[in-house]
Structure 1
Amino acid sequence: MTAPQWEWRLEVADGTRHGGAPGPVFTSQYDAEQWLGEHWRELAADGIAAAVLLNDGTRAAPPVDIPAV
């Protein structure tokens, strides 16, 4: 059995996927959410407007808005 994979799909203001490098993959939802909490300012500076949490490729929660800095 493999551990679940949690990751963020990063989106720009028009709702399309950000064209940059993919973000890290996590083995727990807690770790994924903690990472977003620690890095949202950097993401906003890179033009990210929202992040969608995926669990094994399936949307696990509503998008999280990333406020502009």
Structure 2
Amino acid sequence: MESIENWLHHELKGLMPQGTDAQEKADVKLYAERLWHAGISAGYTNDQLKEACGGDIERYLLDQLHRP
């Protein structure tokens, strides 16, 4: 199994295509749920996902969206 960091990097590209602008909290929540389900399906645990995302998957996604 690949490292969770590599998995997240690749998964985010497919989950949130370039130019995605999730302004609404509901949008971010939906992306977070999709990411969590994909991670569990890929064999990662809830704890691994939370740790890799700094404890908050929604905040992690927002940070990734606003990276230059």
> Aligning the two structures, in what range does the TM-score lie when normalised by the shorter sequence?
0.3 to 0.5
More helix, by proportion: 2
Q: TM-score, normalised by structure 1?
A: 0.38
More strand, by proportion: 1
Q: TM-score, normalised by structure 2?
A: 0.39
